[in-house]
Amino acid sequence: MNLILLGPPGAGKGTQAKRLETTRGLVQLSTGDMLRQAVASGSALGQQAKKVMEAGQLMPDEIIIAMIAERIAAPEARKGIVLDGFPRTEAQAEALDKMLAQGGRKLDAVIELAVDEEALIERISGRFTCAKCGTGYHDKFHPPKKPGICDVCGSTEFVRRKDDNPETLKARLVAYRAQTAPIVPYYRRKGLLKLVDGMAAPDQVTREIETILNGIAAA
């Protein structure tokens, strides 16, 4: 099964993609993770990506398409993929159709996580993670049980992503509306678009996604 999780930054695509990877054996292809790895490597692509990401802008199509094409062709992706953060433009959507067709595959569903933007900014701008074990927290909605101490490993070191601030998030949402939202009609015309409430609790979002996928499998 080949899926796309669609929605603005912070809608929960990464969380749901990881769950699908565990429950259905799909390979998560996250452009965000790929780009952050490139940034950490200090490569030329990474340096370019860092500037673009910190400005809240989108990466050029040709770079992202090349990264995704390589991953889709890998043997471990044959069982199925869940795309998180790709495609972002109609040109990328058309490129994805061609990539899959070349391998005798097709896209099964596009699941859009619909959100309230103001609530989303509040949800994202307060999040942080344990620097040691990676457990996620939020200033308002999910703080550590003991202030300054990780519930899981006891570490006192925490980190926040540089782009998790209201100014950058607003810029990313503007970019999403301008460049990504127009692909929604593209998939609606193909009959692939399914809508889920991205502001619901993660477990509820998971249940709604599973209901959609079970319906597709039974069709």
Binding-site residues for ATP: 10-15, 127, 200
Give yes or no: 88 in active site: yes
Which is nearest to 36 in space by CA: 54, 62, 19, 21?
54
- Residue 189 annotated to the active site: no
* Cα distance between residue 28 and residue 30, in whole Å: 6
Judge contact between 76 and 29, C-beta under 8 A: no
Annotation marks residue 127 as catalytic: yes
Identified catalytic residue from 24, 127, 132, 170: 127
Active-site residue (options: 161, 162, 177, 190): 161
Q: Of the residues 19, 71, 123, 172, which is catalytic?
A: 172
Q: Which of 143, 204, 177, 159 has its CA nearest to residue 16?
A: 204
Q: Which residues are annotated as a binding site for Zn(2+)?
A: 130, 133, 150, 153
From the candidates 19, 71, 88, 194, give the one annotated as an active-site residue.
88
**Which residues line the annotated binding site?**
10-15, 31, 36, 57-59, 85-88, 92, 127, 130, 133, 150, 153, 161, 172, 200
- CB 59: neighbour CB atoms within 10 A? 21
Q: What ranges in 31-89 are assigned the alpha helix state H?
A: 31-41, 44-54, 61-72
Q: Which amino acid is at 207?
A: R
Structure tokens at 114: 């619909």
Per the listing, tokens 């607003």 go with 170
The question of whether 190 is a catalytic residue gets the answer: no
19 is catalytic: no
2 neighbors 108 (Cβ within 8 angstroms): yes
Question: Among all residues, which ones are annotated catalytic?
Answer: 13, 88, 127, 161, 172
